[in-house]
Structure 1
Amino acid sequence: MRFQTQIIAIILFLSIFGFGCSNSKDSDLASQLGLGNPVITEIDPPSGSPPIGTTVGTTVTIKGRLFSADTSLTTVKFNGVSASVLSATSTEIVTVVPAGASTGTLFVTKDGPVICDANNGDSATNCYGRTFYIDCYKSFDNLYGEELGVSYPDSKTFQITGQTGTKALRIDLNPDGPTNVKIACETYLIYSKFSKTCGRTDVGTFGDTSTWVFEPTLTFSSYYTVQMFVTAGKGDCTVSFP
């Protein structure tokens, strides 16, 4: 009876510790072989700009695990737009924000059948996603100082202190529908606005005062964070939502 008890104890010990070690080794081996879904743990920086004019897109480093180390088998998409993969290891991918990218999910995929899920649910296969934010102002290296944030429906006033000056704006629109944005300065003004993909539209020319406008109201049909440059003469300017 005593001998049988010892045998049972040994079997229990092996089942708890022996098989546990085996599973751990299997897991480590799978990781070394790059098996399983890729996982993103960090995106550096978490926001960036596509190319604007002569400025190239932001270089982005994606860190994680279970990536493919073969650049030809690795894909990166910024909200559906494919990006170039500059280098890849099992834990790090270097890429560049491509033209046409907008704020949304950045997906990393590798070779094999691919199913992507922005929430990384059980159905995801060889794919992992994480939010990446497009920031057009990054291409300008803080040229006009810190951006002024304005959020619907609250108006905000800023001041031009020199004879003329330019202010960078970041305006959060109404998420529930079209938004009118009015920019009222004490003088005529010119402005540049950026689309979701950082396409730039300039209204007015600095050297031609006949092209300057007074208290323009801009209408945006869909929600996003609008980035703008406003150049005006000395005095106060107010951004509001009429």
Structure 2
Amino acid sequence: MRRILYTIGFSLVLGSSFSCISSSDEDPLAALLTSPPVVSSVTPQIGTPAQNNLNATYAATEVLIKGENFGVDPVIRFNDIIATISLNTGTELYTKVPDGAFSGFITVSKSGGSCLPNSKTGVNCAGMEYFIDCYTVYNKQYGPEIELKQGSSLSVEFDGQETKAFHTDTLLSSRNLTIGCESTVTVRVFDRSCKATDYVLQNDPIIPFPAGVATQFYVTADSKTCSLVL
């Protein structure tokens, strides 16, 4: 009787051991296939698409994404715009800010996964916030950006033929920028993807700004004091 009980007990233990081994062999593979990617850092988190303006060309910002579980064929998106991956080491992804990118999220999705529109969540998806700054590549050559808030005005003095950089806050509704100056002015306005529109040698220009974004712009004027009203 003791021998029978011992045999039964040994069989149960042995069967349980085989079951554990089988389970442990399957878990890492299952986790690799079904768990989402992890994005631990994005460097830098501020950049620009390529800029090809009238007087200069600037390359797109190179971006390094670090993390794990990216899979063999991941997809990088800046919001809904797919970016080209130049190198995938398994824990690092190298890319550049694509044309048309705007502030929002940079995401990585595994093959077969998807990210919700303009979001860092979805199926097999991970990401972080990313900010487009058209002035980044200029190395602040026009000094620090001056903020002009909606519904407010500024009085700005220009010394010689000088260019100054400005940005608005995020506008709740579309508004007009009105510039009053004794001399003609040249204004360069960037859209949210850093495409520039130039208003050359204008007298007291009135320039429309869109709602929902913070607009960056430059003003070039002679030795005059100019008023900017938004």
Q: TM-score range by the shorter chain?
A: 0.7 to 0.9
Q: Any residues of structure 2 matched to 1:1-242 within 5 Å, and which?
A: 29=28, 33=32, 36-53=35-52, 54-68=57-71, 70=72, 73-116=73-116, 118=119, 120=121, 124-161=122-159, 163-175=160-172, 177-204=173-200, 212-241=201-230
Q: How many residues align?
A: 204
Report the CA distance between 1:35 and its aligned residue. 5.1
TM-score w.r.t. length of structure 2: 0.78
Report the secondary structure of 2:161's partner residue. strand
- For residues 119 and 87 of structure 1, do their structure 2 counterparts lie closer, same or farther at Cα, with a shift above 3 Å needed? closer
**SS of corresponding position for 1:114:** strand
Q: CA deviation at 1:48?
A: 0.7
Distance 1:145 1:64 in 2: 36
Identity, in percent, stands at 29
8 A contact 1:108–1:129 mirrored in 2: yes
Cα deviation, residue 102, structure 1 = 1.2
Q: What code does the residue aligned with 2:218 have?
A: F
Question: Cα deviations across residues 7-62 of structure 1 (Å, max 9, x unaligned)?
Answer: xxxxxxxxxxxx9xx99x998x4699475111222221111100011322100111
Question: Relative to 1, partners in 2 of residues 1:86 and 1:192: Cα closer, same or farther, differing over 3 Å?
Answer: same
What code does the residue aligned with 1:240 have? V
Q: Is the 8 A contact 2:113 2:125 kept in 1?
A: no
Describe the shift of the 1:174–1:202 C-alpha distance in structure 2 as closer, same or farther (beyond 3 A).
same
Alpha-carbon distance change, 80 to 115 in structure 1, aligned in 2, over 3 angstroms: closer
| Partner amino acid, structure 2, of 1:172 | D
Runs of 4+ in 1 over 3 A off after TM superposition: 29-35
The superposition leaves residues 82-107 of structure 1 with CA deviations (integer Å, 9 ceiling, x where unpaired) of: 11111123332111001111112222
What RMSD in Å do the two structures reach over aligned CA positions?
A: 2.6
Deviation of 1:115 (Å): 4.6
Q: Secondary structure at the match of 1:142?
A: coil
Q: Deviation digits for residues 97-149 of structure 1, max 9, x if unmatched? A: 011111122221111243537253xxx21112322111111232322122112
Q: Normalising by structure 1, what TM-score? A: 0.74
**Distance (whole Å) between structure 1 residues aligned to residue 144 and residue 115 of structure 2:** 40
